Amino acid sequence: MISVGIIGGSGYTGKKLVQFCESHKKINEYKVYGFSTAGSSVYEIFPDLAGIIKNQSIINIEQLSFEHDVYFIALPHGESLNYVPGLISAGKTAIDLGGDYRLNNPDDYIEWYKYNHTSPEFLKEKIYGLADLAETNYSGSSLIANPGCYPTAVSLSLIPFIKNFSDEIITISTSAYSGTSGAGKSPKQHLLMSEMNGNAAAYNLNSHRHYPEILQTLNKFGLNSPFSFATHLLPVSVGIYSTSFIHLKSEINQEEIFSIYKQYYENSPFVRLRNQPPNLTWVTNTNFCDLGISVKGKSVIIVSAIDNLIKGASGQAIQNLNRFYGYDETEGLLDKNSILIPERVSSIV
């Protein structure tokens, strides 16, 4: 049994972490730490959780205790730098849901995040926690960098293809769409319902912070061709919907692609290979990533759908905790008695 501290537990991802920790059979206690919400109760911040979880007061971050085994850090970019070095020095496990330790090159933080990284020694030591990959190694470090939402959706959809056909790829272009909760809780005019209802808009073209993270991962698995990435906002609260267009040197067989993906993810309980393009609603409020593949001649289109707050943040963080400690990978994330548990990915649904 382990004890958990949630730093920044009053945001959207923090709320999901609280819910998952409450149902996790290997977590015997968890405490929530915050800034402006310190002194409030969890019920005051999340009234809908009353009677579902145990109530507790949110502790001021300045009173952060080193009594826990694991710390989830759900803070804005740049803030984790203030806590991770101390936690690691104290022998604790830190799972950072922000972007402060995802990239390998500290210079990339100057270009993409606009700050100088103050603990670059951890960048190459960290575990990049793309939890559905068998290749993710959880030994050698107690710092896990939880991948971003777009990188999770895009990487899971493209890695098996790149591993097997990198020399055949001419270009990959990805168009991805996010719900407004990806921008956090802070009020922003362009995210108001009156602005977004019935609307859609591209944003941060050629400048999205997740681009270098995606490229870093795809390069690791063999990408050696041009890659472009465009992000858009959808008039929905949650979800990431990603469509990747792959242009090849020669024609390819769809059955072969399906077979490769089926084998690659056969031991991944949260990746589902669909025989049609997935709907976003199939994955919202779950930790699943649904993939759909279409092949025609020299063109391949791969679609992926995830919940940005769960698979793209808190759910994957719990999955990383489970893999790090050797627990059942689905612990805290699936109700074993639920009829909603799907077939394994070894059967195409």
Range of the domain at 259: 150-306
**339 pLDDT more than 60:** no
Secondary structure letter of residue 278 according to DSSP:
P
List the catalytic residues: 149
Residue 69 · residue 53 · CB < 8 Å: no
pLDDT for residue 192: 60
For the chain, the residue count is 349
Is residue 226 domain-resident? yes
Same domain for 19 and 96, yes or no, is yes
Q: Is residue 347 part of a domain?
A: no
Query: 190 with 84, same domain?
Result: no
**HSE of 17, CA atoms in CB hemisphere, 13 A:** 32
pLDDT tens string 53-67: 999 999 999 999 999
342 found inside a domain: no
Q: Could you tell me where the beta strands, DSSP code E, fall in 65-155?
A: 70-73, 93-96, 127-128, 143-145
Q: Answer whether residue 345 is part of any domain.
A: no
Average the pLDDT over 215-228 and give the result. Answer: 98
User: What does pLDDT average to over the chain?
Assistant: 92
Q: What is the CATH number of the domain that holds 33?
A: 3.40.50.720
The whole-number pLDDT of residue 184 equals 58
Is 335 a domain residue? no
Q: What is the pLDDT of residues 101-147, one digit of tens each?
A: 999 999 999 999 999 999 999 999 999 999 999 999 999 999 999 99
Residue 334's pLDDT is 87
Number of domain units in the chain = 2
346 assigned to some structural domain = no
Residues 93 and 171 in one domain: no
Q: Which pLDDT belongs to residue 344?
A: 38
Does one domain contain both 87 and 157? Answer: no
Residues 6+ apart with CB under 8 A from 252: 165, 168, 295, 298, 300
> Does residue 334 lie within any of the structural domains?
no
Q: Does residue 222 share a domain with residue 188?
A: yes
What are the pLDDT digits (tens) for 77-89?
A: 999 999 999 999 9
pLDDT, residue 307, reads 97
pLDDT attached to residue 301: 98
Please check whether residues 54 and 96 belong to one and the same domain.
yes
pLDDT at 52 > cutoff 70: yes
Going from the C-alpha of 268 to that of each of 105, 159, 231, 262, 289, the distances in angstroms are 29, 14, 27, 10, 10
The answer to whether residues 109 and 242 belong to one domain is no
CATH number of the domain where residue 226 is located? 3.30.360.10
Alpha-carbon distances, residue 140 vs 73, 123, 186, 329, 332 (angstroms): 20, 13, 36, 20, 25
Task: Determine which of 98-107, 232-241, 271-280, 292-301 has the lowest per-residue pLDDT on average.
Answer: 232-241
Same domain, 62 and 120: yes
Query: What DSSP designation does 286 have?
Result: S
pLDDT at 233 over 50: yes
Q: Are residues 142 and 161 in the same domain?
A: no
Examine the domain organization and report whether 111 and 129 are in the same domain. yes
Pair 268, 165 in one domain: yes
pLDDT of residue 341: 38
Instruction: Give the tens place of pLDDT for each residue, 149-206.
Output: 999 999 999 999 999 999 999 999 999 999 887 665 555 666 565 566 777 888 889 9
Determine, yes or no, domain membership for 86. yes
